[in-house]
Amino acid sequence: MSDQQIGDRFRLLLYERRIIRYRQPALTLALLFWVLWYLVSKNYLEWPPPPTAPWLMAGGLVTSIFWFFTLIAPRMAYAQPHQDHLRLQTPIYRLKISYRRIHNTRPIDFARTFPPSNVRRGDRWLLRPFFGATALGVDVTDWPLSPGVLRLFFNRYFLAPDQPSFVILVRDWMGLSNQLSTLMDAWRGTSRERPRGPGIGVADILRED
């Protein structure tokens, strides 16, 4: 942890696994588009017809961009303790959870929180490697946004089903827990030591008049 009171970035494993799954198909599709575009533009093929060449090139560009996104996106999804908040970053959204809102952190048995028998069939491939893993639970007094809004930006298995709590799956949950606890303790100590400014009462206002 640096001297600027910022913790390390701990990659969110659910996002990493979901994004990496699309990497090889995206590369294969991009190569297919580019090969077809080249063959059609050089009139090596009778089908597809030559007018489709620009569309094939557009498909190659889009899938190439998406493939590149799958290379960098896992690094853009992480949890990071800061001086006064915990940052949860996804490729498209950043959530800051104030330490004032966090009241507890605890280890969570992921399989007990999300029993495999209750998981949707389409999600089992995503969660299978994590059923024996321990996640870090970050309990909050209340959700920073409504659960419906949070699910637009975060995976459904990122939110505990039984209470306001974030289920954070990272490779080193103990490291994240230690850094988060250290920065939270420092923030709370600073908050207690910060003197309050003198208040202004009604008598003071009347006296000034």
State mean pLDDT over 187-206.
57
Pairing of strands 85-89, 165-168: unpaired
Tokens of 206: 């009347």
Question: Is a pLDDT exceeding 90 seen at residue 202?
Answer: no
Type of residue at 31: L
Q: What is the pLDDT of residue 46?
A: 77
Q: What is the pLDDT of residue 193?
A: 58
pLDDT in tens, 88-133: 999 999 999 999 999 999 999 999 999 999 999 999 999 999 999 9
Q: Where are the domains of the chain?
A: 12-75, 79-191
User: Across-strand partners of 48?
Assistant: none
Type of residue at 200: I
Tokens of 62: 């889009």
pLDDT in tens, 9-67: 999 999 999 999 999 999 999 999 999 999 998 888 878 887 899 999 999 999 999 99
Rounded Cα distance between 37 and 21, Å, is 26
Q: What is the pLDDT of residue 204?
A: 44
Cα 103 to chain center, whole Å?
A: 21
Dihedrals phi, psi of 21, to nearest 5 degrees: -60, -30
How far, in Å, are 32, 125, 140, 164, 198 from residue 114 at the CA level? 39, 14, 19, 15, 50
DSSP SS3 for 50: helix
State mean pLDDT over 164-192.
94
Name the pTM for this structure: 0.82
CATH fold, domain 79-191, is PH-domain like (2.30.29)
Rounded Cα distance between 42 and 44, Å, is 5
